Amino acid sequence: MKRQRTMRGNQIERFGLFLAEHPGFWPELVGENALVCGFHVGGCFLTIDEMEKLVAAQPVLEAHAATSEVRLA
């Protein structure tokens, strides 16, 4: 395992939103304090850095755009 590092607050929030929308991902927890050392999806393991790149590649919708109604003419 690579060197452990702590996750930033905004990173935790973005990961949480991503995980809520993608329930196939789950964290790898280690130790008594349940430190997150990476994430699993299927048979793959992603480090925190790899997961951050994946989350950053996802489009972010504004709240009003997600709830606005689509009208066809």
- The ranges assigned to domains in the chain are 9-67
Average pLDDT across each block of 10 residues of the chain; the chain has 73 residues. List them in order: 64 87 90 87 91 82 52 52
Residue 8 is predicted with a pLDDT of: 73
- Rounded to an integer, what distance in angstroms lies between the CA atom of residue 49 and that of residue 36? 12
Strand arrangement of the beta sheet that strand 35-41 belongs to: 25-30, 35-41, 44-46
pLDDT reported for residue 44: 94
pLDDT value for 64 = 47
DSSP readout, 26-65? EEEEETTTTEEEEEEETTEEE-HHHHHHHHHHS----HHH
| Six token digits for residue 30 | 């280690």
What is the predicted pLDDT for the residue at 25?
93
What tokens were used for 6? 């702590």
Which residues are 27's β-sheet partners? 39
Note if the pTM is more than 0.85.
Answer: no
